Each structure stands twice: as structure tokens, then as C-alpha cells.
Structure 1
Amino acid sequence: MNEETVKSHKKYYAFLSNGFTTALEYEGSIVWFPTPRMDSPSVFSHIIDDEKGGYFSVKPEEEFSHSQRYLERSLVLENSFSTKKGKLKVLDFLPLSLTGIIRIFESDIPFDVDIRPVFNYGLINPGIDVVEGGIVFKNPQSNEGIELLIQGNYEIEDGYKVSLKPGKGYLYLLHSKDLRYGLFSRKGFVYSRPYDALNKALSYWRGQISHAKKVSALQELYEVSLLIILGLTYLPSGGLIASPTTSLPEIVGSDRNWDYRYVWIRDASYGAEALIKAGLFTKARGVLRFMSSIVDPSSKSFDHPLYTVDGTMPPAEEELNWLKGHKLSKPVRIGNAAYLQVQTDVEGAFMDSLYQYMLATGQVEYVEDMWWIVEAISEWVMKSWQGKSTDIWEQRGVLEHFVHSKVMNWVALDRAWRIAEKLRYDRKEWRIEAEKIREDVLNNGISSGHLARYYGSEEVDASLLTLPIYGFIDANDELFRRTLKKIIDDLMIGRDLLLRYKTDFMGQVSHPFTLTSTWLARVYIRMGLIDDAERVLNSLASCSTDLYLIAEHLDASLCEPRGNFPQLFPHAGVVSSLIELNEMKSTMGKH
């Protein structure tokens, strides 16, 4: 695979994180910044309303060209602006442990800073104080505020605009829930010095992935994918969110807009699997610890499909009607009503990641300490698997015997039995029940010679690709081969990109779902089709952005991101796929 094929890709949002909150940036403008944590209201919300949303931009006074890159193996972003008269370089990052943004600049041309914070997703305009050294923006309804400390040769033109002359310096933005302990308070001296904070941030991110396994292809995409997984992890709890954004639409101008800034058990389990495969066991254990902490031992193991970053129930879904949406894609939503659904596949996803952790680390004692969780999940699945449920795709108001969900019930009991065997516990009843589930799927989940989306359906969906990945069926089994052909015939849209299904409760779908390409690659690896797996991964890589970031969906005709961005699903899939590809090629090389 030629990594140079992805170098010319379209510029899109850059992603910043410090494990507490996140930001998106475009051409030197911070256009998204929820604070103080990942699922908080945003003070820069330009991505969901380019008039009211607010932003924090740095750009030359003259016409310019712009390029961006991450400093090697970090989430520190370097912006380079070039004009006919000179250049401006800006290093942007979120300082560790602080709800802030630091922008260190070096310029031989004058440039402008435009800062327009608006509290609560653009609803509350700030009061403004120009103070010695910078500007303070106050929320009139609380003690909350945004402070901007400016170091350099500058002039404040009004409360929102600052002009800077050539030279070196920095812009230090800090959000405070209470300005009495902010940057300009008596306590201001305790906060990070910008240049020290830069060095610590670089050291932190590089250190996080320094012990990760190496791969032989698409190394930069692989490392960025690991950084995305780590950057989507809320450090205080280990909660791994699905995406840092809300309401970036699957289809521009449509209402397929959702808030993904929460911890989905399924998504987080995929992320844990990727970290385990990459050898980042400490980080994977943190994700597992978060999920294990919210298991209900007396009812459904995971009462909800998703949780806030602190493990509590997510807020009810609301529509922010004062915002016009990303490119007029309304409504803008916060919260997610999927928490009302009963999704029966998530226990299997968690159980598999726990089992993979035990196999990879040999830490039997750790898993034994979680035995009560293994028992709780198994007891729930034993008595619930025969019912209908919502599926992996979270269709609202749709309950069926989905084949993928049934198989994940099988996974839960199969992995539980294997863990029990490792711990020398006798739980043969779990294995027996798992076989009953297998028989049920093979008796009722086949239509016209292929596995179906749900019992009685003729359709397929892309989640059927996971069956050989989880070991439910061999990838070269004739039944699965027919299923794979049906999936490719019905769901592939060029470039080895797949729709997840043709239609759902909202009607016809339009764009490929990026996770499915990584599933397809993993299936090809299990079939021994290495060239095909490489082609699929290269195709997905070719539609990543200039920074190797991948959204939930892609517009296949334009090779452009769609939906929330960046997305945990495809980046976790990239890591798992590339590790498996590396291992398969190594094994084949030995023979």
C-alpha cells in the first residue's frame, strides 16, 4: 500500500484533545469547543451555525494560502499561512488537564485574531472586559467565563478583534466555571506556562503511542487512528466517546443529525479491542474499567446503550431550534434518545473485549476480579436472547430478531464460557445455551441461501460481516461466501465502500458507513485474500482527510467526510485491521 496516495486529500477539520475536552479547527479557526468536558455545551459552535455559533480565528491580514499538519505522533497542530509578504506559523493544542486552548505563534507579517465566544451553543452572548494583558468574556447568567491572555505586540481594536504585529508570542485561552480562579485571578500564577505546556503535550501524546505495535503499511494513518482513540477517551473516567461532535449530518441538508459525544458500550468495546491489539493494555484496561463500573448485576447488564463520560445516564434528546445547523442541516440535537432503546448486542461486544484482554495480557486475576460481571451478563443473556430487540444501527421504533444481535448474544455466552474455563469454573450451561443460539440463527436467519438482516427478511446488512470476525462462522464457509456476495452486490458503492443497509426507519440511505470497510478488510484477511484486504484499506485511506481523519460516513462520489467527525468506529477498525493484516503477512512469510 502506498501511503503517498493519501497525501493530496482534501483539507477538513483538525481534531484537538487533551483527554478532558476536544476542539475542531479549520484554517486557523477554532469552530467547535465544548467545555469543561467533551459532552458540555460549546462556546465555539461555528460548525452548527456559521452566524451565531462563535469561533476563535487567527489569520493574516493579506490573502493567504494555508496548510496544516500534526507534529509527529501528537495532537499538536501546526498551521502554516503564506502570503506574498511573508509567513505565519501557529502551533495549536489543548493543554493537559486544563479547559483551554494555547496558540503559540511566530510571524513575519501582521495578523488578526478574532474571538467570539457564545455560551450554551450560541444562546447567551457574553459581557466583555478588556483588561491588562487580554480580554475577559463573562457569562451574564453565572460566574462562568472565557479569558484570553495575549503575549506579543498587539492592539485590541474592540472586544472581539485583536491586531498583532510581526514577532513571537502566544494566545492563551482558558475557560473557567468561576472567574474568581481564572487566568487573571490571584490564582492565575498556578496555570501552565504556554511553552512548558507545549513540551508536556508533545511528550504526553508521543509517549502514549510509543509502545504500540508497529505495522508495515499505512503507518501514519495507524498512528493517527490510535491518537484519535486516545483523544476520545475522557481521562478522569476512562469513558471512550463515539465522536467529539453533534449534528454534523450524514446527508447535507437532511435531518439525519445526532449527538455522539457519549460513551456507547458497543463503540467503546471496539475501541478497547483496537487498543488491546495495538498492545496499549493500560489504556484498554481503563476503558474496560469504565464499562465494568456501570454493569447492573440484577437486571439488563447495561441498562442503556450509551452513557455520559462520567457513567451517568445521558440527557434527554433536545433540539436547539435557535441554530440553523451545519450547512442548513436541521435540527441541531443534543442528548440522544437511543438511550431509551434496549440493544441486546452490547453485552457481547463488551464480553469479547474482556476476553481479548485476558488472552493478550494473561491477567487472569484481573478478569477473576470481574467474575461477578461475567456471571451477571451471562444470566441476563440466558433469559433474554429469544426476544426481539433494536439492532446495532439503532433504528427507532423497530424491533426484530436481528441476526447480528442474536450472534452477539452467542458471543456473550461463548466468551463467558471460555473465561470460565480459564478460571476453572464449571459453566457448561453457558456453552450449551450458546449452541442453542447458533442453531436458532442457522434455522431462522437464512433466506435464499444467505444470512439475512433479521429473521424472515430477504435483505442483508453490513453487520453480517462481523460473524466470521467473532468466530461464529468460518469466513470460507459456503453460507458466508454467499452472504458476502449478497452484501457486495447490494451494498457496495465503489472504492470498496459499503452502505450499512439500503433503508431504515428514516427512509433511503445515501452514503457508505466507514466502519464497514474495515469489517470487509478483516473478513478478507480471514479468507486469506491479502491483496483484497490491502485494497479495501487503501481505498478507505484514500478518502481520509489531509490529516488522516475519518468521519462516520463518506460521500463516495466526492470522497468527502459526512456525519460526526472524527469517528471512533472507523479509527478503531483501521487499527484492528492493520494489526491483523500485519500478523497474517508475518505468518504467511514464515511459511
Structure 2
Amino acid sequence: MNYAFLSNGITSALESQGSIDWFPVPRFDSQSIFTKILDSEKGGYFSVKPIEYNKIQEEYIGYSLILKTTFKKNDLKSMVIDFLPISLPAIIRLYDTELPLEVNILPVFNYGLINAGTEIVKDGVIYRNPLSKEGIELLVYGNYEIISPYKLIIKPGKGYLYLLYSKDLRYGLFSQKGFVYSRPYEAFSKLIALSEKELSRAKRIRKMERFKDIYYRSISVLLGLLYRPSGGIIASPTTSLPEIIGMERNWDYRYVWIRDASYATEALIKANLLTQARRSLDFIISVIDPSSKSFDHPFYTIDGTPPPAEENLDWLSGFKNSKPVRVGNAAYLQIQMDIEGAFMHTLHEYYKETQDDEYINSNYWAIEAIATWVKSYWREPSTDIWEERGVTRHYVHTKVMSWVALDRAYKLAEALGYKKEAEEWKSVANEIKEDIMRHGIVEGSFVRYYGGDEIDSALLTLPLYDFVDANDKIFLNTLKRIESELKIEDGLYLRYKKDFLGSVVHPFALVTPWMARVYIRLNKVEDAIRLLEKLDKCSNSLKLLGEHIDQKNCEARGNFPHSFPHAGIILSIIELEEKLNAENITTNK
């Protein structure tokens, strides 16, 4: 998956070798106008590259999500800088070229279904959706020639291409209101400054120079997945990039999963990005229902509304002919009992980091709502972290997360002086733990679900949530099974062996940082470093990771980039640094 991820916290784009092949507008979960990544013929794209070149280099500018692509032919070169300006559903492409550039642009509305009407105007081209007032405008500055609405030739020199989506073209770039929109070079400077300012607040990695690049890249990815108007963090900016090429494991992840967002928020807390973390917490709290299940849905749209139903886009062939292409996600029908625990753990981590009594007190109603729900319903079966469709069981990881929800609730209540609630919730947490220890262990090992004997990698989280110590004998037996049964290659592990769709093929990227964090707790620091080196190696040239990894070539599989592995990397590297610093202090003493 040799794509760059561009984002401005409103929407995103994926680009490779000068071609933007994915661009939903006006926001992350909208219909896309460039969809080539899901259909090479019908999808539409926006390509800028020299007519002739023999070398290409892609790199981000610093740790921003601004991409610089350099093309070379002999001693001549072209440089194109691509970014999404702050707060606009737009793409700006600055160029400085010694070679003639060819621009090919094919916007197609509604995921490649509706062809655009075109109009060449002074300084550019307008592409209209014939079924609405929306459209795309391309403003061109420099020395150029418009060959057709779909092709331009740019002559050597400097300039830019400015593409803006408007829901109503009467207020677009070429309207009387056009002067209010970002000026390209100023927009570039503002985005650079914002990126540097945000990242400057992140914890500095002192000893871990070897992981510095993927650490900061992971932070930039999480910030790029945060929808700025609401604070919600989406799981991934794409839909239907397949877990397995040619198969049907293709899902839409452009929503705020409570679990995924909680993991990402924990990583931001640990990285000292507390303002962004608090905005994410605010979003999650805003969707809590105090009168029923705390989270009515496993995920929400980026503005906090209920998620859309799942449907197939039959006119698209899919990534490398992997059908179906789906939008929406039927997992919204599931009742997932682990997500309350994921959120409560993150809220507790925020409190540990900030000691912000006022914030916790003002949201105590949310803690009560979650604790009340979990206390009443933890005995029920549910789907689990892996979201198998049509399957409900008493999953051990899910039960543990119910324990986490009440354990963190009682600790927060205790810290704020709510002794009665604290005692009640602690008592039920102990009851849940006893139930897990009675029903969730087979032959000295934790198992995936009650009554079964198989395992899954989510069991690695038990010591990460302090349910058991990493040195606990039962957990060590579980770890040994995961290492032998789910390991597919050094440093890469399956999440489980099979599910409702059959056998699993590729490693799940999050498992590697989970395992690294376990090794850190076991004082197996070199093993943890080895795992992180493997994950670093399996990221693409820009340090990006998808949900899965193809063990044959380290190429990303599934939606890309994904918050899970990048959040896991941040937490692993911080814990590794803390471990090494502690050892260094001990040694110096």
C-alpha cells in the first residue's frame, strides 16, 4: 500500500506517485470524487507529474501530512507539494518544475457513478454534478495550457493548482465570494505552523532515536484522523480496502468506533497531547445514553449521529478486484459489551495524567451511566472486539472489559469521594473477575470464550489493563499459546485462526505492539525492541500502517492508514522509553 495520507481534520486524500486516487468530500465519510483506489477505470483521479521522468521520491515535510514529491529526468527535476488546507474540502498542489508537467483530472461524483459536466473558464475548469448544485473547481496559476477539461500541460516554472469542492457552486472559487478562501502559499505556511505546534507538545523520545520517525508519524496519523469540528477520531479514512486481496472482507471504517477512538485517545494522553485527547473524550461522552446502554451503537458518524446502514456499490470493481465495495457498516446492529470498558480506561488514564477533578466531576453522570449499565448487563453474551457478524458469546476479553469499566469507575468515584458508589462498583468488579477466573480458563490458560478452548490475541490485553500481572502463571501459559498458535512470522501474529468468514490469512497489526507491551512488563526489553523493529520495517516508505500486514511482502492490508497500530506504536514506545529510563536510573544509583 504505497500511498501517502493527506488530511486537514475535515477530510482526507490518498496519493501515490503524483496521483490522488481517493478524496471524499466535503468530509471523511462523504461520497468520494476521486475513487481510483477502488476502481482503476471508473473511479476518477487527479494526477500531476512530468511528461517524462526516470526517478521519483516521495516524502513528508517534517512530521506534517504535507507531501513533497520530487521527479527527476537526468539533471532536471520537478517538485510538487500537496496538502489539504485547514478547514476546507480542498487540495492545493504547489509546483516548481524544470520539466513540463502533465495534469490529468477526472472528478466523478458519488463514488464514480455520476460523470461531471464541465466548463472551461478563465483561470481554470469547473466540474458540475448534473444532479445537484455541487461541484469541483480547479483554479490554475502559472504558465499552462488547457488541452481539455481533463488534461492540462504546465510549462517549466512555478505555480499551483487549487481544487475546491463546493456544495453550491454559487459560493465557489470562481464566485464573487472566491476571495475569502485560502491563498495557496499562505495556506501552506499556516498548515506547517499548525503541525509543528501540535507536535511540539508531544513527549520527546529521548533514548528511542531508532523509533523516533515512526513515533511522530503515528502521532500525526492520529491527529489526521481527528475530525476537528467535533473531536471524533475515525478508525481509518478509507472504505473497502480488503483484508485479503480478492475476497469479501471489505468494510467501511470512516466512523468513530468507541473502542478505536478510546485507544487513540489513550495514546494522545500518553503523548501529552491533552487538548486533543480531551476533545475526543468530549465527543465520546456526548454520545452516551444515560437511560439505556451507554453506547447505543459501537460507532457513530463523525458528528455524533447514528451510523448509516451498510450498502454495496456494485458499479465499482474494488481494490485489485476485491468486491464488494461497501459504504456504511452493518456492525452498527451489534451489541458490543467491551466498549464501555475501553472508554472508562481512557477516562481514568486522563485523570491519572491531569488530576482534573473538575472535568471528572462535571462528567460524573457519564461514569454513573456506564457503571449502572455494566453492573446490570455484564452477564449477557455479546459480540466482541473482532465484531464477528451473527455470533454472540461470553467472550473473555469482553468480560474483562466489563471488569475494567467497573474497576475504573470505582477508582474515579473513590478519588472524588463517592464512597458508596465506589464500594458498590468495586464489589461487582470483583464478582466479574471471579466469574472470568471460574469460566474463562481451560487447562491452565485463558481462552477466547466460555465453553471453548481456542485463544485470540485480545487476551494479551489482560496485563495491559492490570486484570492480571504479566507474570501470572495462567497468563504466561496463555502467552505461550499465542506465541506458538497465532504467530505467523517473527513479530507478526494473527488475531485468531478463523471466524464466520473462514480462515484468517494475514497478521493483525495491533497485536505486535500489544505483544511488545507485554514483553516490556516481563522485562524482555530486547524482545520488545525486536517486535517494534518488525513493525517499523513493515510500515511503508512514509511510516504508515494499515489494519493488517501481508506477511509475504510487508504490504498493508485492510483500511489504511489505521488508528489501531499507530496508537499501539505510540504506547509501546513510550512504555519502552520509560522502562529504559527507569533501568538507567537504577544503574546509575
Q: Is the 8 A contact 1:237 1:290 kept in 2?
A: yes
The match for 2:441 is 446
Q: Which residue of 1 aligns with 2:476?
A: 481
2:585 maps to 590
What amino acid maps onto 1:333 in structure 2?
A: R
Q: Say whether residues 1:373 and 2:366 are aligned partners.
A: yes
Give yes or no for the alignment of 1:494 onto 2:489.
Answer: yes
Query: Which of 379, 397, 401 matches 1:408?
Result: 401
Q: CA deviation at 1:495?
A: 2.6
CA distance in 1, matches of 2:555, 2:7: 23
Which residue is 2:165 aligned to? 175
* AA of the residue aligned to 1:293: S
Find 1:202's aligned residue among 183, 188, 192: 192
Q: Which residue of 2 aligns with 1:17?
A: 7
Q: TM-score if structure 2 supplies the norm length? A: 0.98
How many angstroms does 1:355 deviate by?
0.4
Q: Does 1:274 align with 2:264?
A: no
Q: What secondary structure, in the 3-state scheme, does the structure 2 residue paired with 1:156 have?
A: strand
CA RMSD of aligned residues (A): 0.7
In the alignment, does 2:520 pair up with 1:525? yes
1:331-367 alpha-carbon deviations (Å, 9 max, x no partner): 0000000010000000000000000000101111101
Aligned to 2:306: 313
Whole-angstrom CA distance in 2 between matches of 1:495 and 1:83: 40
Partners of 1:274 and 1:448 lie apart in 2 by: 35
Q: Tell me the secondary structure at the aligned position of residue 5 of structure 2.
A: strand
Could you give the per-residue CA deviations for residues 34-61 of structure 1, whole angstroms, max 9, x where no partner exists? 0100000000000000000000001111
Cα drift, residue 316 of structure 1: 0.3
Name which of 543, 546, 564 aligns with 2:541.
546
1:398 aligns with 2:388: no
Q: Which residue of 2 aligns with 1:250?
A: 243
Stretch deviating more after TM superposition (34-43 or 76-85)? 76-85
Query: d(CA) in 2 for partners of 1:589 and 1:60?
Result: 52
Once residues 554 and 346 of structure 1 are traced to their aligned partners in structure 2, the CA distance between those partners, rounded to angstroms, is 25
Structure 1 residue identity aligned to 2:244: I
1:328 correspondence with 2:318: no
Q: Deviations over 1:213-265 (max 9, x none)?
A: 01232111000100000000000000100000000000000010000000000
SS in 1 for 2:114: coil
Matching of residue 435 in structure 1 with residue 430 in structure 2: yes
Cα deviation 1:369-420 (Å, max 9, x = unaligned): 0100000000000010001100100000001100000000000000000000
Deviations 1:544-569 (A, max 9, x none): 00000000000011111111000000
CA distance in 1, matches of 2:265, 2:376: 27
Return 5+ residue gaps in structure 1 as ranges.
Answer: 1-10
What is the rounded CA distance, in whole Å, between the counterparts of 2:136 and 2:75 in structure 1? 33
Residue 381 of structure 2 aligns to a residue whose secondary structure is: coil
Deviations, residues 161-213 of structure 1 (Å, cap 9, x unaligned): 00011000000000000000100000001111100000001011111110110
Counterpart in the other structure of 2:72: 82
* TM-fit CA distance, 1:84: 3.0
Q: How far does the alpha carbon of each residue in 1:504-553 deviate from its partner, in whole angstroms, 9 at most, with x for none?
A: 01000000000010100111111111111111111111100000000000
Q: Does structure 2 retain, via aligned residues, the 8 Å contact 1:385–1:409? A: yes
> Is structure 2 residue 557 aligned with structure 1 residue 562?
yes
Contact persistence 1:20–1:98 (CA under 8 A): yes
| Contact kept in structure 2, 1:450 and 1:482, CA below 8 Å | yes
Q: Pairwise mapping of residues 58-207 of structure 1 onto structure 2 (< 5 A)?
A: 58-84=48-74, 86-207=76-197
In 2, Cα distance between the equivalents of 1:266 and 1:257? 19
Q: Which amino acid aligns with 1:198?
A: F
Distance 2:204 2:542 in 1: 19
SS of equivalent residue, structure 1 residue 514: coil
Partner of 1:296: 289
State the match for 2:502 in structure 1: 507
Please state whether the residue corresponding to 1:239 is helix, strand or coil. Answer: coil
Which letter maps to 2:294? S
CA distance in 1, matches of 2:390, 2:407: 29
Aligned residue among 232, 235, 239 for 2:232: 239
- 1:50 is matched by which residue type in structure 2? S
The aligned amino acid for 1:370 is N
Alignment length, in residue pairs? 581
Match of 1:535 in 2: 530
> What is the SS of the residue equivalent to 2:118?
strand
Mapped to 2, the partners of 1:272 and 1:62 lie a distance apart of 45
Report whether the alignment pairs 1:221 with 2:211: no
Q: Distance in 1 between matches of 2:289 and 2:303?
A: 16
Q: Percent identity?
A: 57
Partner deviation per Cα, 1:105-136 (whole Å, 9 max, x = no partner): 00001110001000000000000000000000
Post-superposition, which runs of at least 4 consecutive aligned residues in structure 1 deviate over 4 A? none
- Alignment partners' CA distance in 2, 1:104 and 1:516: 39
Q: Is the 8 A contact 1:85 1:109 kept in 2?
A: no
Aligned to 1:421: 414
Separation in structure 1 between the aligned mates of residue 585 and residue 143 of structure 2, nearest angstrom: 62
Q: What is the rounded CA distance, in whole Å, between the counterparts of 1:45 and 1:244 in structure 2?
A: 13
Aligned with 1:163: secondary structure?
Answer: strand
Q: Distance in 2 between matches of 1:103 and 1:277?
A: 34
CA contact (8 A) 1:151 1:171 kept: yes
Q: Is the 8 A contact 2:53 2:71 kept in 1?
A: no
1:457 corresponds to 2:452: yes
Work out the CA distance in 2 between the residues paired with 1:59 and 1:505: 44
Using the alignment, how far apart are the partners of 2:392 and 2:183 within structure 1?
54
SS in 2 for 1:233: coil
- Does residue 283 (structure 1) correspond to residue 273 (structure 2)? The answer is no
Q: Which amino acid aligns with 2:573?
A: L
Q: State the secondary structure of the residue aligned to 1:442.
A: helix
CA offsets per residue over residues 303-348 of structure 1, 9 Å max, x none? 0000000001111000000000000000000000001000000000
Whole-Å separation in 2 of the counterparts to 1:398 and 1:575: 32
Local SS of the residue matching 2:130: coil
Q: Which amino acid aligns with 1:65?
A: K
Deviates more, 1:450-459 or 1:58-67: 58-67
